[in-house]
Amino acid sequence: MEFVTLSKENLAREHICCAISRESDCQVSSKKAWLNARFTDGLVFTKGNVRGKCFIEYIPAERAWAPICAPDYMYINCLWVSGQFAGQGNADALLASCVADSTEKGKKGLVILSAERKLPFLADPAFLKHKGFLPADRAEPNFVLYYLPFDAAGFDSDKPSFLPHLKSSGLPTETTVAVGEPFTGMSSTQNAAAETVSALPETSVSAPACTGFTVYYSHQCPFPAKYVPILEETARKLGVPFTAVRFETAEQARRSPSPCTSFSLFHDGRFITNEIPSAAKFEKLAVSLNAVRGADRADC
């Protein structure tokens, strides 16, 4: 299969695989604007020259919109091959292109978000293990950070990790760490890299609301641009408190209370899912959680 790598020069005329529609569609326009702003950060989006889901998107981990510490690694935002393009070696080819490009750029290896089992919108852990990835770190409730070091010595030193606020019991009132406060459980190299997060000004992200739904999202994924307003309107009709928090910078995303910054839904301060629900599914979820108007609500 022929592959195409997006750039500022061809972005307007190329589709973005998971949202193939008119340029005026909010999903397409939001994702393309996000991509266009990330190219200068070293983001790469390579896709099959076909109409469908067959692409890989990655960025230097230091610039990733994710609460991780992985100095000199490349972070894979998304590797998605589906439909008629699956089972033909295309995922292998896309991953191989990422390995070759990252090696040429002097990276130590790759890192990607997954889970203990296959979940929507996350990399398949079975595929990752088959390709040699190993678990580097874990975060509640079932997220796993996988990594693939290019040097065998990397399996034993300076493993990528989630930032400390994801590992504490419960959720913090604000996902920040005081400037100069050491990050425990990390090597000196990781500590130096992670401390840059705490030193960034005015990028605090509040914890999920104690009552009702809170959704955190970014335009790294095109779908929230369409579905978050739908969920917000559905919640309004149900009389359910609903707060939407969009990450507008990598620094804000790195302070996310969830490893999944493209979309994470919380209820009464507790993580529920990273899957984007339809209006009907959201309504059923609200009912099952006794969140609709008049129902008793749990305290934080």
Residue-wise pLDDT tens digits, 261-300: 999 999 999 999 999 999 999 999 999 998 775 544 444 5
Average pLDDT over residues 198-209: 58
Q: Identify the pLDDT of residue 119.
A: 92
Distances (CA, A) of 116 to 70, 141, 169, 217: 20, 9, 19, 22
151-193, pLDDT tens digit by residue? 876 566 679 999 999 975 333 333 333 222 333 344 544 554 4
57 vs 45: CA distance, rounded Å: 4
Q: Identify the pLDDT of residue 174.
A: 38
As a whole number, the mean pLDDT across the chain is 84
263 vs 137: CA distance, rounded Å: 20
284 vs 100: CA distance, rounded Å: 45
Residue 269: other Cβ atoms inside 10 A: 18
Q: Are 122 and 113 in contact (CB under 8 A)?
A: yes
Question: Residue 77's pLDDT band (boundaries 50, 70, 90)?
Answer: very high
122 vs 80: CA distance, rounded Å: 9
Q: Identify the pLDDT of residue 51.
A: 79
120 vs 261: CA distance, rounded Å: 14
12 vs 78: CA distance, rounded Å: 21
Domains by residue range for the chain, with CATH: 3-163 (3.40.630.30), 213-289 (3.40.30)
Model's pTM, two decimal places? Answer: 0.85
28 vs 7: CA distance, rounded Å: 15
243: pLDDT strictly greater than 90: yes
To which H or E segment does residue 97 belong?
A: helix 90-104
Q: Are 17 and 80 in contact (CB under 8 A)?
A: yes
Higher per-residue pLDDT: 32 or 191: 32
Higher per-residue pLDDT: 190 or 130: 130
Among the listed residues 34, 39, 53, 60, the one whose alpha carbon sits nearest the alpha carbon of residue 224: 34
C-alpha Rg value of the chain to the nearest Å: 19
